[in-house]
Structure 1
Amino acid sequence: MKILFYSELLRSVFGKLQRILVVVLTTFFFLQTITATAGATKAPDHLKRNNGIDPVTITGKVTDVNNSPLPGVNVILKGTQTGAVTDVDGKYSLRVPQNSGTLVFTFIGFTTTEAAFTAGKTVVNVQLTGEAKGLNEVVVIGYGTQRRGEITSAVASVKSENFVKGSVGDAAQLIRGKVAGLSVVTPDGNPTATAQVNLRGITTLNASTTPLVIIDGVPGSLTSVAPEDIESIDVLKDGSAAAIYGTRGTNGVILITTRKSKGITSPTMEINTYFTTQRITKRLQFFNADQYRQLVQEKKPGATDYGSNTNWLDQVLQKPLSKVYNIDLRGSNEKTNYIVNLNYRDLNGIMQESNNRIIYPRIEVNHSMFDGLLKLNANINGYEQTYKGFDGGDYRGDIYRNAIYLNPTQPVKNPDGTYAEHVDKTDYANPVSLIKNSDGMQQNTDLRTSGSITLTPITDLDIKLLGSRDLLNNFAGYSETKEHYSTLHDGKNGYAARGSSRNEEDLVELTANYKRTFGGHSVTGLAGYSWRQNDNQSFYAQNYDFPSDDYSYNSLQSGKALSRGQAVENSYRSQNKLVGYFFRLNYSFQDKYLLMASIRREGSSKFGTNHKYGNFPAASIGWNAKKESFLMNNNTISSLKFRAGYGITGTEPSTPYLSLDRINFNTNTYINGQWIQVINPSSNANPDLRWERKKEFNAGLDLGLLNNRLTLTADYYNRKTSDLLFNYPVATPPYLYDNITANAASMENKGVEISLNFAAVQSKNFIWNTQVNYSTNKNKILSLSDKNFQLASGYFDAGFLAEPIQTPTSRVQIGQPIGNFYGFKSVDIDDAGHWIILGKDGKPKPIVDAQADDKQIIGNGLPKHYLAWNNNFSYKNFDLNITMRGAFGFQILNTPRIWYDAPVMLTRGNLLVTAYDNVYGKRPLADDQSVSYVSNYIENGSYWKIDNVTLGYNLQLKTKYIKSVRIYASGSNLKTFTKYKGIDPEVGILGLAPGVDDRNRYPATSTYTLGAFLNF
């Protein structure tokens, strides 16, 4: 009740705070900007005559160690906000109110440098030294930033200059292969698909495995912001770093920082645009029409010649062209800075009617007033997305499935112009008709507003109040005509569905951050309070048996099925709240001995009355050995730091109300000659429902050699997750139903991560930087039961293969890792062409005599090793980026081969050309050998990809309007080295049945991009 009381109180006080704040601040900032611009010709007060000393102008040039000019360097008069930025020639001019002082030069990737000027010295030239992994590099952590040299936990940072180049679909694809331990895969070429992301293994059975995503301090998703608008991505990998986020930190935290306006600059505009096309990476080789007719002549069972020559895959593919435009406008003066970003993406896939159109607007304004006492921020962003949608999703997998296995002698259309169909066959539909006789649309509108006020009442103390609202609205509509397969096969006579949802997430956070340095001691303290509320609403209805196709999905009431009780109509609403209190202390002595300790206490309305709150502590230590006297003068070792940390994080279920008694009205009973609606409990309540708890130990090493030209980061982790949520069988009675969601299971993940960076060549005209990332993970189920809830068998099955097989693919078992394929191990075929498998006694036996307990582990779908090699070259104005990556030590279940390498499936459609090849060197499978899940279809999935190659040319201009131009060409997913026989070995890595190459998957593609970047 405490949570509900405080939540409602906070809602009444802060409910409209962020909306009012954003409107007021935006208006205020706009007026301030206009005022500042209008008054730009007036000399600021601090540039007026000072004690009889006239202002002076300092000029100079900033270069790197090769004497090449550095444009964009911030030059600030120390102790003031007076500053300038170097131009394309590295030159600057700064008018200062005094004839002596110190200038501070800062630039990303270079060591901050100070230079003094005195009376009569008005020219100050500076040479900046680069730092590959400098200890002064600023890294974003939870609720703040920290110098890399102070970090004691496992944190990875990737800046925009090191992002994956070319066409990317979301934020995760920018850092694919860039962070050791972070697995980012793109299983297909669907333009609406997002990358699958997993950090340090699977840690849960029922909950989400996706890391928490924070964008400029506000929760979001990988698609909440345009990739071209991102400045840096930081990943909190271990428990000690992520524990500050409590229940949301178990899967790690991805912190996204959008592009900002820095220093003092006049208004500038940047345009980034590119065009992309695609090709399918690999076509599965099915019999063409001529080859198929040979099967007809051989009188193969099921072979039928319909008289045409049709390449079905070509009928549904297209030559797509995608376009992306990003416009960035920014500017700043001493007190106010702003950025306006507009991103438009018109993405088209290789399959017809697959598209994705998104517009991302963002406006951010920052203002400092009262000599820095008060800082204000307002941010409005979001996106509007539209794409061709199908019922229940974005693209129907049966379109591709039918396109690869339909009879190639069947025509697309009948002589009368209707689409040719054979509804007598099972699971067999004309894919062109599936596209053309359906109409659908998905629309998503996400409005994200946030505002903050930061008060600095005394030096080094910042008190910040943040309010945000993320409002996501979805509309979906879909219809099928009277000529669609659903009418011809299922008698629907026209089908339509509509749905909508609204998800609102409100956040209020109050934090105080204090930093004090005295003697050799440095202390930073953070204290905060967080309140978050999520409100989700949805509606869905379908109908069929329509009088006409004219209204698509816009006249749902015209169908007759709903009135007959044969269609679906439902609505839903849920709400949950999360309240957290947190504290963190960072301490360092002489920058040698480092300590971080934090704790978060969090309460959630999703959990039972006995476990509303949980505590999530963390601690980590570090030793900068390079600071010790015995290494201080060592010219080989540039930096050496040892780290160790321990933290506890949690996971909450995605579904609320599991701890409560719930009722439903979806059953009826027959009383006195009529059906009466019955009210009954819908599930078993669990008042002891609580957090999943992950305890993680991490030990790390950061090493730099040869002035940090060679840097190494290595981490070992061991994480144990207990109280895992799972649906357990229970006795009835005492329970009303035979299952309940409870905390009982546990699992372990441990592994090693290594990141090696080498500035191999650093000459005047040629630069080569290379990076190698390696990670390994070992997963193990420790338990599936506790004293209250047991899974007596010690295992459960996951994944499922559709008819005619209808069997699970994987088994989750105590003592085994997640991802095990579980089926019959085939070792031979008999003389008639039927499978021979190994029985439970280890002896061969015919598959017709197989029993369920003859199944065994026949592979694992999760890679044991990940490796990436990234290279950046530059020669004068040219640059070349090559990223390569691979996964090793895993298997893939090739489901297309299960169905289409079996001669018996010729009765349903087409087959792979290998269907009649000899098996085990003997003979082809028998024509009557049923489709079977055996180890013959489990293949080595290891692969190595040339993932991205980008060649660019940078042209510095001295025109009045255009400062610089960059043109580039890029290719992604260019070449894959693998023994896998499917279309692409990069398959799904999430869930409890990973490694399955779905026969319905959208085809994998290679992309080719041509783009330009203009700076005005």
Structure 2
Amino acid sequence: MEGKQLQVSYIGYIPQTVTLKSTEELTIKMIEDSQNLDEVVVIGYGTQRKGDVTSSVASVKSENFVKGAVKDVGQLIQGKVAGLAITNPSGDPTGNTQIRLRGTSTIGGANTAPLILIDGIPGDFNTVAPEDVESIDVLKDGSAAAIYGTRGTNGVILITTKQARGSEILRVDYSGYISTSHISKKHDMLNASEFAQLYPDYDQGYDTDWVDEITRTPVSHVHNLSLSGGTSRANYIANVNYASRQGIMKRSNFENFRARIEVTQRLFDDKVRLRFGLLGRSDWRESTVSGGSFRGVAYSQATRRNPTEPVRNEDGSWYENLSKFEYENPVALLTEADGDVKNTQLRYNAGITYNPIRDLTLQANYSYNRFVMNRGYSETLNHISARRDGYKGWSSVGSSISVEKLLELTAQYDASIGRNKFTILGGYSYNENNYENIWVDNWGFQDDYFGGWHNIGIGSALKDGKANVGSSKSLTNLIGFFGRATYSYDNKYLLMAALRYEGASQLWGTDNAWGLFPSVSLGWRITQEKFMQDQNIFDDLKLRVGYGVTGSQPRASFLGVAMLRYGSYAYLDGQWIQTIVPASNPNPDLKWEEKKEFNVGIDFMSWNSRINGSIDFYNRRIDGLIYDYSVPTPPNLYNVTTANGGTMENRGVEVLVNVVPVQMRDFEWTTSASFSINSNKLKSLSGSVFKTEYDFFDTGTAEYSGQVTSSHRVQVGESIGNF
């Protein structure tokens, strides 16, 4: 036995290997594994030990991602974070995952989706491949997200990609899969015989399953190749991903190619670290549902179509019933339309980290992101729009370019003095977005061979002044100064406080272009107290309390100043001249929406870390909701003024429990369960500069047979989103 090695392991403790020296009795002292508490959690502009986190932050590592065929990064954490709703609204492979964190926080302000950062750089769930992601951290409450100011008002999702490990051995990883899908449950529709019995006067004598006519059994495949290598001083990682996806609907096809490379170099005894990254993305999707007025979507037409009608007439032409308005052959809609959308993205990022002394870190990061979209769409002369609306080959083409620049400078000092640990962070951020687009539509083509969106100029409508041409440009920037301090005493009492001072170009011309956004959170690790040392229920128990303020700027620029636009034509001196009319009223009091959030939470860990989770209660109050208020003319020059007014409240409870029922050497069973409930109420709609108390307004549209009506009502005392 002497010289043999014995490996000892137990759940919740660090495995040990002991060399046997004799056959005598051996005593081994096991050391508790605090890996769960030492786990690194990404927070704003840095990281923190999980045990030191005082805000509502959820972290999901790659080993806990949703397994299987996922469309984008968002689906990796679907159901993994309490309070985070990630939905796939359709089976369309070209559609984006929709996301909402802790309910709705605005009625007419900026975007309601959380800020998504990939390695600290703004992006979306399609920027990187799901296979290229290492971890995802979600900053849920105001105290965690306030460091990002207005950008973090709807929460922050921090995506960390896989990084090079510094190994000298070249590592190559490949993964791929093939998948298919089907309609899990079809609508219970009348078949041809049932329809004929109920409506014999409309029986055309055919038996057509219209949903089957426009659907298929799709096949999708995804391939991912990753290469990494280098040394501890210089390393690299490269990732290439290709996805080809088919939707259940015919002619719903999507192709995506993404590539990323990152190189890291350490210099001067590791005091300087240089990083350079390049990310490229190109995707293509087929488009057959865009176009001019009264375009029917194929699926909605299939569900309302008479099942006794044929797909084609006896002469091979499409069967259409032109006597019914907006009643279109869904197979013809897919066949007699053609289009695609091409997106190209190129992102450069570079960073330098300098440690002049052990506890001081200076960092500079810069990114340049260029996104180009080109689209085109055409309807043939056999399309119903040619016969019913007289368009004769309606076509449209357009393109847009978006350039985003980001510069961030930070300095952080970390120190430990006895039982005291603290960090101090300060920084500057400049974010600029430049967007331009142009589009044109035309119709009146002689044939389908020489016209269409590839040769849109030969249509007659543009020459006759009936078609449309347009273009636009917008430039916005966001400047922020921020600071944060964290403090820990005896690994027991925890504090984090942050402050961001931010200015937005959308509020240029008002008295409130700059805003101040503070936050503070406290933590108490109860199990570190002496009176908890003899209990054996909790391995760790932490109480968290946080409060933070974030904001939302208006959705567009210059809404607080008086603007002009072109109006109707007037006849002057023998010629028609387009008039210039008011486009907005001035409102120097226009300011940010302010979201003030209070959060109380408990983190717990039991049974040697095999049971862990969190419980959170939050209360959000959004003041100064931005809304377009109707005003009388005169005295106003324009009939709408954009102003702050009204209050909204969100309350909710979130529960997340992770359990490891079985844990053995070669097998582990992990289960997660989450529960969340959100209560949303509009408290007021009164305008800040008006005496009128608004009770409700209608919004959204629903259209059927040419009749257009409002679909939603936003009413004081009710929830947002009521039909």
For the aligned pair, the TM-score class normalised by the smaller chain equals over 0.9
| Paired residue secondary structure (2:175) | strand
Q: CA RMSD in A?
A: 2.5
Question: Relative to 1, partners in 2 of residues 1:791 and 1:330: Cα closer, same or farther, differing over 3 Å?
Answer: farther
- Aligned-pair CA distance for 1:680: 2.6
Q: Distance in 2 between matches of 1:112 and 1:532?
A: 45
2:493 is the alignment partner of 1:588 = no
Tell me which of 295, 305, 309 is aligned to 1:410: 309
8 Å contact from structure 2 (residues 373, 400) kept in 1: yes
Q: Is the Cα–Cα contact under 8 Å of residues 62 and 127 in structure 1 kept in the other structure?
A: no
**Matches of residues 778-793 of structure 1 in structure 2 within 5 Å?**
778-789=679-690, 792-793=693-694
Q: Map 1:366-445 onto structure 2 (within 5 A).
A: 366-390=264-288, 392=290, 398-445=297-344
Matched, 1:197 2:99: yes
Contact 1:610 1:687 (C-alpha < 8 Å) held by counterparts = yes
Tell me the amino acid that sits aligned with residue 9 of structure 2: V
Contact kept? 1:445, 1:473, Cα under 8 Å: yes
Please give the alpha-carbon distance, in whole angstroms, between the structure 1 residues aligned to 2:644 and 2:675.
Answer: 34
**What whole-Å deviation, never above 9, does each CA across 1:565-599 have from its counterpart, x for those lacking one?**
21111000000110000000001111111110100
CA distance in 2, matches of 1:426, 1:734: 43
Q: Structure 2: which 5+ runs fail to align?
A: 20-27
- CA shift, 1:538, in A, is 0.4
Counterpart pick for 2:246 among 331, 348, 353: 348
Per-residue Cα deviation, 1:381-428 (whole angstroms, up to 9, x for no partner): 131010112465899762111112222222212222221112121111
AA aligned opposite 1:277: T
For residues 115 and 721 of structure 1, do their structure 2 counterparts lie closer, same or farther at Cα, with a shift above 3 Å needed? farther
Is contact 1:412–1:419 with CA below 8 Å preserved after alignment?
yes
Q: Partners of 1:531 and 1:474 in 2: how far apart?
A: 25
Q: Which residue in the other structure is 1:460 paired with?
A: 359
Q: Report how far residue 133 of structure 1 moved.
A: 7.3
AA matched with 2:491 = D
What's the counterpart of residue 543 of structure 2?
642
Are 1:552 and 2:452 an aligned pair? yes
Change (3 A) 1:728 1:786: closer
Residues 295, 636 of structure 1: alpha-carbon distance in 2 compared, 3 angstrom cutoff: closer
Deviation of 1:712 (Å)? 3.0
Whether the 8 Å contact between 1:636 and 1:707 is mirrored in structure 2 is no
| Residues 1:363 and 1:296: Cα distance change in structure 2 (over 3 Å) | same
Once structures 1 and 2 are overlaid, which stretch shifts more, 396-405 or 730-739?
396-405
Amino acid at match of 1:377: R
TM-score scaled by structure 2? Answer: 0.93
Q: How does 1:651-666 map to 2 (within 5 A)?
A: 651-666=552-567
Residue in 1 that maps onto 2:497: 597
- Where does the alignment leave 5 or more consecutive residues of structure 1 unmatched? 1-59, 68-109, 118-125, 298-302, 822-1016
From 57, 65, 68, the counterpart of 2:9: 65
* Residue in structure 2 matched with residue 761 of structure 1 by the alignment: 662
1:564 is the counterpart of 2:564: no
Matched-pair contact (CA < 8 Å) for 2:354–2:361: yes
Q: 2:66 aligns with which of 155, 158, 164?
A: 164
Question: In 2, Cα distance between the equivalents of 1:802 and 1:204?
Answer: 25
Between structure 1 and structure 2, the one with the greater Rg is 1
Distance 1:114 1:696, change over 3 A: farther
Equivalence for 1:714:
615
Q: Which amino acid aligns with 1:565?
A: G
Which residues of 2 match residues 172-321 of structure 1 at below 5 A? 172-206=74-108, 207-297=110-200, 303-321=201-219
Quote the offset at 1:263 in angstroms: 4.8
Q: What's the offset of the Cα at 1:146?
A: 0.3
CA distance in 2, matches of 1:494, 1:254: 44
CA distance in 2, matches of 1:66, 1:585: 38
- Which whole-Å CA distance do the structure 1 matches of 2:717 and 2:233 have between them? 60
Contact 1:65–1:129, Cα closer than 8 Å, also in 2: no
Aligned to 2:433: 534
- What does residue 140 of structure 1 align with? 42
Q: 1:790 and 1:738 mapped to 2: Cα distance?
A: 16
Matched, 1:359 2:260: no
Equivalent position of 1:499 in the other structure: 398
Tell whether the 8 Å contact from 1:451 to 1:467 is kept in structure 2 after alignment: yes
Q: Which amino acid aligns with 1:552?
A: G
Query: How many Å separate the matches in 2 of 1:440 and 1:209?
Result: 30
Aligned to 1:989: none
2:57 to 129, 145, 155: 155
- State the secondary structure of the residue aligned to 1:279: coil
Instruction: Quote the Cα distance in structure 1 between the aligned partners of 2:328 and 2:405.
Output: 46
Residue of structure 1 aligned with 2:581, choices 665, 680, 684: 680
The DSSP-based 3-state class of the residue aligned with 1:562 is helix
Q: Does 1:516 align with 2:415?
A: yes
* 2:23 equivalent in structure 1: none
Change in Cα spacing, 1:535 to 1:667, as seen in structure 2 (3 Å) is same
1:197-232 Cα shifts (integer Å, max 9, x gaps):
111111100121100001001111121111111111
Q: Report if aligned partners of 2:9, 2:16 keep a CA contact under 8 Å in 1.
A: no
Task: Give the distance between the partners of 1:148 and 1:113, measured in 2 at CA.
Answer: 22
Q: How many residues align?
A: 707
User: Within 1, Cα distance between the matches of 2:284 and 2:410?
Assistant: 38
Given that residues 447 and 472 in structure 1 are in contact (C-alpha distance below 8 angstroms), is that contact kept between their aligned partners in structure 2? yes
Quote the offset at 1:291 in angstroms.
2.0
Shift of 1:162: 0.7
Q: Equivalents in 2 of 1:666, 1:816: separation in Å?
A: 38
Describe how 1:468-507 pairs up with structure 2 within 5 A: 468-507=367-406
Distance 1:208 1:243, change over 3 A: same
Q: Following the alignment from structure 2 to structure 1, what is the Cα–Cα distance between the partners of residues 327 and 525? A: 66
> In structure 1, how many angstroms separate the alpha carbons of the residues matched to 2:284 and 2:655?
41
Q: How far does residue 445 in structure 1 lie from its aligned partner after superposition?
A: 0.6
Match of 2:24 in 1: none
Within 2, Cα distance between the matches of 1:393 and 1:613? Answer: 42
| Conserved? CA contact 2:273–2:352, under 8 Å | yes
* 1:604-753 mapped onto 2 (5 Å cutoff): 604-607=504-507, 608-753=509-654
Q: CA deviation at 1:114?
A: 11
Q: Is the 8 A contact 1:183 1:199 kept in 2?
A: yes
**Counterpart amino acid of 2:137?**
D
Q: Secondary structure at the match of 1:784?
A: strand
CA 1:142–1:756: 2 relative to 1, 3 Å: same
Rounded to whole Å, the distance in 1 between the matches of 2:30 and 2:718 is 54
Go from structure 1 to structure 2 and tell me whether the alpha carbon gap of 1:114 and 1:581 turns closer, same or farther (over 3 Å shift).
Answer: farther
Cα shift readout 1:470-516 (whole Å, capped 9, x = no counterpart): 11100000011111011011000111110000011100110011101
Specify whether residues 403 and 420 from structure 1 end up closer, same or farther in structure 2 by C-alpha distance, changes over 3 A only. Answer: same
How far off is 1:63 after superposition? 7.2
